[in-house]
Amino acid sequence: MKTFFVTGGAGFIGSAVVRHIINNTNHKVINIDKLTYAGNLESLIEIEKSDRYHFEQVDICDSSSLNDLFNKYSPNYVMHLAAESHVDRSIDGPGDFIETNIIGTYKLLEAARKYWSQLQDKNSFKFHHISTDEVYGDLHGTTDLFTEETSYSPSSPYSASKASSDHLVRAWSRTYGLPVIITNCSNNYGPYHFPEKLIPLTILNAIAGKKLPVYGNGEQIRDWLYVEDHARALYKVVTDGEIGQTYNIGGHNERKNIDVVRTICDILDDMIADKPENIQSFKDLIEFVTDRPGHDLRYAIDASKIQHELGWEPDETFETGIKKTVEWYLNNTSWWQRVLDGSYAGTRLGLGN
């Protein structure tokens, strides 16, 4: 049995990683999460009673608490997912992104280095930093792909803060010898996604008969990765990946934003006979809105390295994954209703249900 630290384990991707490890291995997981607005322990109800799962409400910017956790649990792996991640929020208020994504990563690296430097078997530890393809900027050609050697050119405060954290991790490896691995992923989607993001926002607005906002002309292209495929990839990387390497993780599913929204509408049209008043198709709710500043046009990942070296590839196509996602939101109304009305915050703060 190995011990995994998963920072941000109550978030969207982090909770998928926690569920994957608990459900598919015999390892122990320590979920370290500050529980900001996007942290939701209700995403972990199915595994919360496992004796191999432990939750610690700790801010990664709190060095003293981090040191205590390393001493208490003696982890073999750190999977660092804790981050502010919404581009629009970073434009409106970049301070939290600088604090969490840069300062927090620095504090976690220092705590990990202190712990690792005292280990007798230094080969028993890895630090896995989970990042984003947005650090690369955007692609202007229609066939270009981000590779692990693509130069960084972040466009938003969010992507700049993640690029900074990537550089810190590599510096701690080069300067101090800390055993690190970095992954950069494409856009994730799937169950338990916080409703402010494009796909869940579209699903829930449509159900409510609200407008479906699409930035600009909707021609922005993203590569979509089903979150449970990503969780499998991350576990594969941290256990079998080579120290010092970077692995790009993508879903091989490039879609224009407008086509994503239209696909969701088509699925809902098939599943919901009783539509909101005055619409024949959910596509009638689509509304183009002013584009956000610095909006990257196209992201696309070359995931051939992780496929060839570690044998990972996604199980879900966009068609299968998006259908599963829509079905999940239709069948789990209590989860997203508690997010939308804010009542999940009571659970986050330990105030009961």
CA-to-CA separations, 162 to 93, 99, 185, in angstroms, rounded: 15, 11, 12
Helix-helix angle 198-208:333-340, to 10 degrees: 100
Three-class SS state of 301: strand
Which of 53, 158, 299, 329 does the annotation list as catalytic? 158
Task: Give me Rg for the CA atoms of the chain.
Answer: 20
Q: Residues in the chain with pLDDT < 50? A: 346-353
Domain count of the fold of the chain:
1
Phi then psi for residue 7, to 5 deg, are -80, 145
CA-to-CA separations, 311 to 81, 124, 181, in angstroms, rounded: 23, 23, 17
Q: For residue 82, is it within any domain?
A: yes
| Residue 329 annotated to the active site | no
DSSP 294: T
The DSSP code sequence of 39-57 is --GGGGTTTTT-TTEEEE-
Q: Which of 259, 226, 245, 228 is nearest to 183 (CA)?
A: 245
Report the half-sphere exposure of 13 (CA within 13 A, side-chain side).
27
Q: What whole-number distance in Å separates Cα of residue 282 and Cα of residue 271?
A: 11
CB 26 within 8 A of CB 52: yes
Q: How many CB atoms lie within 10 A of CB 129?
A: 26
Q: For residue 123, is it within any domain?
A: yes
Q: Would you state the pLDDT for residue 345?
A: 66
Which of 134, 254, 296, 316 does the annotation list as catalytic? 134
Three-class SS state of 341: coil
Tell me the per-residue pLDDT of 173-194, one tens digit each, with 9 for 90 and over.
999 999 999 999 999 999 999 9
Which of 59, 84, 133, 223 does the annotation list as catalytic? 133
Q: Which of 334, 230, 214 is nearest to 12 (CA)?
A: 230
Write the Ramachandran bin of 136: left for phi over 0, alpha for psi from -120 to 50, otherwise beta.
alpha
Q: How many CB atoms lie within 10 A of CB 139?
A: 18
| Residue 247 annotated to the active site | no
CB 251 within 8 A of CB 316: yes
Reported pTM: 0.94
Q: Which of 126, 131, 137, 123 is nearest to 105 (CA)?
A: 131
Three-class SS state of 140: coil
Q: Would you state the pLDDT for residue 349?
A: 39
Helix-helix angle 257-271:318-331, to 10 degrees: 50
Q: For residue 198, is it within any domain?
A: no
CATH number, residue 105: 3.40.50.720
Q: For residue 326, is it within any domain?
A: no
Q: For residue 289, is it within any domain?
A: no
Q: For residue 154, is it within any domain?
A: yes
CB 136 within 8 A of CB 187: no
- Parent domain of 142: 3-190+227-253+297-317
| Residue 33 annotated to the active site | no
Q: What whole-number distance in Å separates Cα of residue 226 and Cα of residue 131?
A: 16
Q: What whole-number distance in Å separates Cα of residue 250 and Cα of residue 229?
A: 9
Q: For residue 89, is it within any domain?
A: yes
Q: For residue 21, is it within any domain?
A: yes
